[in-house]
Amino acid sequence: MTKIAFRFFIDYEKEEKWLNEMESKGFHFLRYCFFFYIFERGNPNTYTYGIELLEDMSHHKNYDYLNFLKDTDIEHVASWARWVYLRKRKEYGPLNLFTDLSSKYSHFKRIFTFQVCLLPIMIASFIKLLDLTWHEGDFFYVAVSVLYTIFLIFFTSNTIRTHYKIKHIKENMQIHE
Amino acid sequence: MPESHERMALTEAVFYILLTLKKPLHGYGIMQKVSEMSGDSVQLGSGTLYGAINTLLNKGWIKIHRQEGTSRKKKEYIITDEGLHIAHQELRRLQHLTTLGEDILGGKDND
C-alpha cells in the first residue's frame, strides 16, 4: 500500500525531521517528485532517514560515494537534483553522515552556495511576475505574486540562517576540531 | 625528531584512521574498528570517513590494498610508509602535550 503526500520544504533539516516522523507512523519514504512524496506502508521504527546535498556533479564520483555508503549500511532511496535521500536500518545503528566540524562545515557551505546561486534566478522571475501583475492586474496574477512573495521571504531567511550556521561552525572550529 | 614538511596537528578522525589501517580494512571495517578502539566514544560518520579516505589517498598516506571483484566496489585500504611516519610524528606531538599537561595540571605544584 502506498501513500502520497504533498509538502513543500525550504529547510532540508525540517524535511528530514518530517520524513522520520512519517517513518515512525509506519510510512517509509520511497520517491520524491515536485513536492510529492511517495510512501510505502511498513513497520514503524525500521529506518532512519537522512538528506544530503552531494558535492560532485560528476556521476562517476557520486556513484562511488553512494556505493561507499551502501557498504556502511546506508541505502540510497531517492534523488532530486543534487540532493539525495538516504536511509539506514535502525538495527544497524544511528545514521551518521558528518561527525566532525570540518565536514559539517563543507556540507553547509555547499548548501549555502546552492541557495545563493538560486537567489538571482528567483529575484529575476519575481520582478517579471510583478511586471505581469501590474499590466494584467487580474486576481490570478495577484494571488501568485502574493504566494511567491511569501516563498521568497522564507527562502531568503533560510539562506541567511544557513549563513549563520556556517558562521557558528567556523567559530567552533577555532577552538575545537 | 625528523622534521617533516608538515608540522600540523592531525584531526582525531585522521589519527584514528591511520591507526586502524596498520592492517588492511575496508570503509565499514574502519568505522567499526574506530568505535571499538575508542570504547564507542568516537563514531565516524560515513560522509566524514569518505572525505578523509580520499584526502589520505591523495596525500599518499594510505593506499588501496585490494579491490574485491568488479561489480561490487569494496576497497580495502592500508597505511603507507609515509602515513606511518606521519602517525609516529603525531604520536610524539601528543606525548609532548600529555607530559606538558601532566606537569602543569597534574597537581604536584599547584599555585
| Residue of chain B nearest A67, judged by CA positions | B73
Cell 570517513 maps to which residue? B49
**CB pairs A-B closer than 8 Å:** 53
Condensed to tens digits (0 to 9), the pLDDT of residues A123-153 reads 999 999 999 898 887 888 899 999 999 999 9
B45 touches chain A (CB under 8 A): yes
Cβ-based contacts of B51 with chain A (< 8 Å): 103, 106
Cell 568516537 maps to which residue? B42
Q: Please give the single-letter amino acid code of residue B44.
A: L
B74 touches chain A (CB under 8 A): yes
Distance CA A125, CA A119 (A): 10
Residue B28 burial class via C-beta count within 10 angstroms: exposed 0-12, middle 13-18, buried 19 and up = middle
Return all residues near A125 (Cβ < 8 A) that are at least 6 apart: A148
Condensed to tens digits (0 to 9), the pLDDT of residues B28-44 reads 999 999 999 999 999 99
Distance CA A65, CA B26 (A): 14
3-state secondary structure of A35: coil
The ipTM (two decimal places) reads 0.89
Condensed to tens digits (0 to 9), the pLDDT of residues B58-92 reads 999 999 998 876 555 578 999 999 999 999 999 99
Cβ-based contacts of B43 with chain A (< 8 Å): 94, 96, 99
pLDDT for residue B70 = 58
| Residue of chain B nearest A103, judged by CA positions | B48
Residue B26 contacts residue B74 (beta carbons within 8 Å): yes
For B24-73, the DSSP string reads -EEHHHHHHHHHHHTTTS----HHHHHHHHHHHHHHTSEEEEEEE-SSS-
Of the candidates B45, B50, B72, the beta carbon closest to that of A65 is on: B50
In degrees and rounded to multiples of 5, residue A78 shows phi and psi of -150, 165
